[in-house]
Amino acid sequence: MSDTHSQTVSYVRETMLPQAEPPVSNRGAILWLRENLFSGWFNIVLTLVSLYVIYWALAHTLPWVVSGIWNAGSLSECREIRDATLGEGASAACWAVLVDRWQQLMFGFYPSELYWRPVLALVIFLAAIAPVLFAQVPRGALWFTAVSPFVMFWLLWGGSAWFPVAVALGFVLGWAAWRALAPMAGTLVAAIVSAALPIVYWFYTAGPLARELEQVVGIGIEYVPSQDFGGFMLSFIIGIAAIILSLPLGILLALGRQSDLFIINKVSVGFIEIIRGVPLIVWLFTASLLLNYFLPPGTNFDLMLRVIIMVTLFAAAYIAEVVRGGLAALPKGQYEGADSLGLSYWQSMRLIILPQALKISIPGIVNTFIGLFKDTTLVVFIGLFDPIGLSNAIRATTEWNGIYWELFVFIGLLFFICCFSMSRYSLYLEKKLQRGHK
Amino acid sequence: MTTTSEPPKAGFHPSQLIYDTRYRSLTIQVIAFIALMLGLSWLVSNTVANLQALGKDFDFGFLGQRAGYDINQRLVEYDSTSSHARAALVGILNTLLVAVLGCALATVIGVLAGVLRLSKNWLIAKLMAVYVEGFRNIPLLLWILLIFALMTEATPQPRDFREGGDAAMILGDTVAITNRGVFIPAPFWGAGAGILLAVLLLSLVAIFFWRRYAHRTQEQTGRILPIGWGTLGLLLVPVTVAFLALSLTSGRQVQPVLATGASEGMTLADYAGSQQAINACTVPFSTESLNLRRLMRANDLRFNLVPVADGAEAIAAAEAGRCNILSLPASTIAASVPAGAVALSDTITRGNPVEFERPILGGFNFEGGLQLRNSLIALWLALSLYTGAFIAENVRGGILSVSKGQTEAAFALGIKPSRTMRLVILPQALRVIIPPMISQYLNLTKNSSLAIAVGYMDVRSTLGGITINQTGKELEGMLLLGLFYLVTSLVISGAMNVYNSSVKLKER
């Protein structure tokens, strides 16, 4: 054994080698490519297939998009320009239809000299929603948020300013009744009275009051009927109104479904299951065909309002299920803890249960909102002019007869931007509300 | 530890209804119940008053009346003289058809996209992310219209498939994509199709027992039997053998072509020359009818097909003069040959148990084969792609929900990667994936009501559309329509609950 080591090594390096970069194949872009795209035969096949798919998709769409024609008065003019500049039968989009008709796609048949009103309403909406969405905005701004729906309503439809004021007065009335009665008569009586009083007021007093005030001091702007609403403005109005109204209703339904009270529980379950079991389109047809049967003879109210009501009820049932999931996910100890502190039902819900349950259900709620906003396109089937309805109308004109893809691309892109930003916001909110359980 | 508080001695006082928690819930419920009943009676009385004012009544008698409209796609027999109830049934079947097709394709797409989105391959993961976000954030209606426009505007016309045209059939000349729909080969059932089906069912039963036996063996002895290969073999071998045996024996049998008013030994071409028109009595989707048609096409004959249910009806029809040419199995005894009919010199074979007829370009359109209308294709593809994007997210979430330790533990036990996936990861992931997946199926079924956008005749278009317009029975029609969807939803979610409780973690 000793002769194994008898031969000494002729040379041993005494200095350290300078650090060298990894070989070219093991660093930088090449390493990344090797690890992520070409790490095995299956991966290579996948990469090649996806490269081909991307190439195929781009080769079919990119020339069409890039060489699009922006200045033309009609589809035939577009084709003439294309044949003259790009050669016969080349592939080129006719974006000119968007230049020509974008106002219609945005506002429908809203009078063009009044476009500032919906735009201003949108600005007000963005300002009003800011304190709700972002905690950095001062809390005092919430007052503005509370007032903004009435201002927006007035700006969009116009007419006498006293009408939204009279309606808002109902809420003030209910709030005043609650403050006055709650200490005296207890919460149950106060709740019933403060719910019933505004309803009676809206039915019998609000209308005449607004008319009287209008005659004394007339403040009004030009009235725009609902039939003139259209395009993305219509989608936004229906979507936003339904989102705002369906959240509280959905939370109430979820609480009802979790309730121990037999009748309230069964009514909530029945409502939720019936609404969710039937497609929205059937509900919309119900709103347009049947609602008149269910209301007192001679009543006839705005189709857009009916649609908002139906979409709200529909979304509320879905939100109720999402919130119920959040409620069920809370540990039982939270409920028992709230009870042991001696909190009343509403106090424990407001202070302990709902803040946690809603936090869990944020992704689901936002998903429901995204679905709701996309579903506003269904109103085209009952004769409202949403963007898709307007694209049909534009295609029916002589100038733009036969144009499809450009309009679809535009509408799809706008919906994508809205829905995608909503889903990003929900991710942001989830991260922000994370309380470090990871 | 005896009770420290005495039960209240005082009797019942009305204020307890509000302040005593024992009675307050009752009070609230009674008030809620009264409010509910008042609301309902208000609605019902309004409805009654409105119906009276319009001179309408509330009854479902209209379902028995003659519908009087045509439906272009029907899975059961229907014509415009059928009743409204029958039209509703056709619509229901069409809804279920597109729902089942859609669920199947959406599952395939969704599982693929969900798995690929988790792939280590950066490019394909991003590609799938684009697919999922694109479809989730753009309205389904837009996708349906877009795909429908693609199918009708960007596909060739049937005449482009002629010689010199710039379109060609795909998949070995079996499928033609045209702006009138997609034409695919149609299945025809020949003699022995029943035997083939029985063999298939038997091998399914055998597979069930084989898998049970293999599991038992493994549990008792630890020996692993080849479950996958056994299943595949049991599925394919008996059916293939039966198919070959049947097509080589009864399938090769020659049978005569019978014609009325012909002389013995006449050829088909001569017979056709002697007749004004050729009406062939055939059983739809039978190989005899397929081979008779092939024979007549080969002779360049123009002919009409008279559909009959079976051989006896064919003979009766031939004797009544409704058709003059037919082909019955050779084994048919001479007595049952229709009076005045003789065999021509041309013969046909009975054909295999199953044969496929390719679509062939006829005068202005494709003939033969199955026509899948553009409305069906657009609705089907759009629903599947849209729902597939949601299912992909469910699948991704389900796979991510299984912690990495499970895989590592399985590897530490020396289990192969494929068996790890099948025995460790999938059972746990499926528990998370299946419930939301079934609610996606539910959504797909309900979304199929968007068929209105492309004119697909689903239940909303028949019962909830044309029938309501024709009879003026909005209330009854919408009620039935809503009930149909409600029952479908409840059945699907009921099935989901049964499944859920069967895969739930068994807690002791």
Low-confidence ranges of chain A (pLDDT < 70): 1-10, 436-438
In A73-102, the residues whose Cβ lies within 8 Å of chain B are none
Chain B, nearest residue to A288 by Cα: B474
* CB-based contact A43 B120, cutoff 8 Å: yes
B188 near B294, Cβ under 8 Å?
no
Please tell me if residue A405 touches chain B, with a CB cutoff of 8 Å: yes
Please tell me if residue A186 touches chain B, with a CB cutoff of 8 Å: yes
* CB-based contact A388 B27, cutoff 8 Å: no
Please tell me if residue A279 touches chain B, with a CB cutoff of 8 Å: yes
Residue B46 structure tokens: 């309004």
Residues of B within 8 A of A260 (CB-CB) are 25
B400 near B216, Cβ under 8 Å?
no
Q: Which of B19, B153, B446 sits opposite A404 (nearest CB)?
A: B153
What is the full DSSP assignment across B344-376?
A: EEEEEE---SEEEEPPEE-SSSEESSEEE-HHH
Burial class of residue B417 (count of CB atoms within 10 Å of its CB; 0-12, 13-18, 19+) = exposed
A96 near A75, Cβ under 8 Å?
no
Residues B498 and B501: their CA atoms lie apart, in Å, by: 5
Q: Which of A35, A281, A419 sits opposite B460 (nearest CB)?
A: A281
Query: Reduced to 3 states, what is the DSSP secondary structure of residue B305?
Result: strand
pLDDT in tens, chain B (508 residues): 445 555 555 577 777 777 777 777 888 888 888 988 998 999 889 888 888 888 888 888 888 888 888 888 878 888 888 888 888 899 999 999 999 999 999 999 999 999 888 888 888 899 999 999 999 999 999 999 999 998 888 888 877 777 766 777 777 777 888 888 888 888 887 777 788 889 999 999 999 999 999 989 988 988 888 888 888 998 889 889 988 888 888 777 777 777 777 777 777 777 777 777 777 777 777 777 788 878 877 777 777 777 777 777 777 777 777 777 777 665 555 556 776 777 777 777 777 777 787 777 776 777 777 888 888 999 999 999 999 999 999 999 888 888 889 989 999 999 888 888 888 888 888 888 888 888 899 899 999 999 988 988 889 888 888 888 888 888 888 999 999 999 998 888 888 778 877 777 666 5
* CB-based contact A370 B460, cutoff 8 Å: no
What is the least distance, in Å, from the CA of A432 to any CA of chain B? Answer: 21
Residues of A within 8 A of B119 (CB-CB) are 46
- pLDDT for A438 equals 47
For residue A217, report the phi and psi dihedrals to the nearest 5 degrees.
-125, 105
Residues of B within 8 A of A291 (CB-CB) are none
Q: Which of B19, B127, B478 sits opposite A290 (nearest CB)?
A: B478
Q: Which of A277, A285, A293 sits opposite B485 (nearest CB)?
A: A277
Q: E strand or H helix at A394, and its extent?
A: helix A387-395
Residues of B within 8 A of A53 (CB-CB) are 127
The 3-state secondary structure of B18-82 reads HHCHHHHHHHHHHHHHHHHHHHHHHHHHHHHHHHHHHCCCCCCHHHHCECCCCCCCCCCCCCCCC
Helices (DSSP H) in B413-425: which residue ranges? 417-420
Residues of B within 8 A of A293 (CB-CB) are 46-47, 50-51, 474-475
Please tell me if residue A388 touches chain B, with a CB cutoff of 8 Å: yes
What is the DSSP code (8-state) at residue B325? E
Q: E strand or H helix at A317, and its extent?
A: helix A303-329
Q: Which of A276, A285, A420 sits opposite B464 (nearest CB)?
A: A285
* CB-based contact A378 B18, cutoff 8 Å: no
B142 near B395, Cβ under 8 Å?
no
Residues of A within 8 A of B141 (CB-CB) are 377-378, 380, 388
What is the least distance, in Å, from the CA of A274 to any CA of chain B? Answer: 7
Q: E strand or H helix at A221, and its extent?
A: strand A220-221
What is the DSSP code (8-state) at residue B8? P
Q: Is the dihedral of CA B140, B142, B145, B146 positive or negative?
A: negative
Q: Which residues contact A309 (CB under 8 A, 6 or more apart)?
A: A287
Please tell me if residue A294 touches chain B, with a CB cutoff of 8 Å: yes
Looking at chain A, which residues constitute the CATH 1.10.3720.10 domain(s)?
Answer: 105-110+226-435
* CB-based contact A293 B51, cutoff 8 Å: yes
Distance between the two ends of chain A, CA-based, in angstroms? Answer: 58
Chain A, nearest residue to B483 by Cα: A278
Residues of B within 8 A of A46 (CB-CB) are 116, 119, 121, 123-124
Q: Which of A43, A290, A377 sits opposite B475 (nearest CB)?
A: A290
Chain B, nearest residue to A411 by Cα: B142
Reference B490, options B454, B436, B438; nearest CA is B438
Reference B301, options B329, B328, B332, B279; nearest CA is B279
Residues A230 and A224: their CA atoms lie apart, in Å, by: 12
* CB-based contact B121 A188, cutoff 8 Å: no
* CB-based contact B138 A419, cutoff 8 Å: yes
Centroid of chain to Cα A356? 22
B140 near B386, Cβ under 8 Å?
yes
Domain range summary for chain B, segments of one domain joined by +: 84-164+372-503, 189-250, 254-349
Q: What share of chain B is helix, strand, coil (3-state, %, to 5)?
A: 60, 10, 30
- pLDDT for B131 equals 93
What is the full DSSP assignment across A56-73?
A: HHHHHHHHHHHT-----S
Q: Which of B137, B141, B449 sits opposite A377 (nearest CB)?
A: B141
Distance between the two ends of chain B, CA-based, in angstroms? Answer: 34
B112 near B499, Cβ under 8 Å?
no
In A357-376, the residues whose Cβ lies within 8 Å of chain B are 370, 374-375
Residue A70 structure tokens: 């922006």
Residues of A within 8 A of B432 (CB-CB) are none
CB atoms within 10 A of CB A202: 16
Q: What CATH number is given for B84-164+372-503 in this structure?
A: 1.10.3720.10
Residue A203 structure tokens: 């039915």
Residues A93 and A40: their CA atoms lie apart, in Å, by: 41
Residues of B within 8 A of A420 (CB-CB) are 133, 137
Chain B, nearest residue to A51 by Cα: B123
Residues B475 and B78: their CA atoms lie apart, in Å, by: 25
* CB-based contact B123 A37, cutoff 8 Å: yes
Residues A353 and A171: their CA atoms lie apart, in Å, by: 26
Q: E strand or H helix at A370, and its extent?
A: helix A354-375
Q: Which residues contact B406 (CB under 8 A, 6 or more apart)?
A: B424, B425, B428
- pLDDT for A9 equals 65
Q: Which residues contact A20 (CB under 8 A, 6 or more apart)?
A: none
B198-201: list long-range contacts, CB under 8 Å, 24+ apart.
B199/B238, B199/B239, B199/B242, B200/B238, B200/B239
Q: Which of B18, B139, B474 sits opposite A289 (nearest CB)?
A: B474
Please tell me if residue A60 touches chain B, with a CB cutoff of 8 Å: no
Centroid of chain to Cα A337? 35
Q: Is the dihedral of CA A400, A404, A409, A411 positive or negative?
A: positive
What is the full DSSP assignment across B387-413?
A: HHHHHHHHHHHHHHHS-HHHHHHHHHT
CA dihedral B475→B479→B481→B482, nearest 10 degrees, is: 130
Chain B, nearest residue to A372 by Cα: B139
* CB-based contact B49 A36, cutoff 8 Å: no
Burial class of residue B477 (count of CB atoms within 10 Å of its CB; 0-12, 13-18, 19+) = buried
What is the least distance, in Å, from the CA of B252 to any CA of chain A? Answer: 45
Chain B, nearest residue to A402 by Cα: B153
Please tell me if residue A199 touches chain B, with a CB cutoff of 8 Å: no
Global ipTM = 0.86
B97 near B75, Cβ under 8 Å?
yes
What is the least distance, in Å, from the CA of A39 to any CA of chain B? Answer: 8
A110 near A229, Cβ under 8 Å?
yes
Q: Which of B32, B46, B140 sits opposite A295 (nearest CB)?
A: B46
Residues of A within 8 A of B32 (CB-CB) are 261, 263-264, 267
Q: E strand or H helix at B282, and its extent?
A: strand B279-282
Q: What CATH number is given for B254-349 in this structure?
A: 3.40.190.10
Q: What is the third-level CATH fold of A105-110+226-435?
A: MetI-like fold (1.10.3720)
Chain B, nearest residue to A192 by Cα: B31
Please report the number of interchain residue pairs, chain A to chain B, with beta-carbon separation below 8 angstroms: 157
Q: Which of B43, B149, B449 sits opposite A279 (nearest CB)?
A: B449
* CB-based contact B29 A264, cutoff 8 Å: yes
Centroid of chain to Cα B191? 26
Q: Which residues contact B175 (CB under 8 A, 6 or more apart)?
A: B169, B182, B183, B184, B185, B359
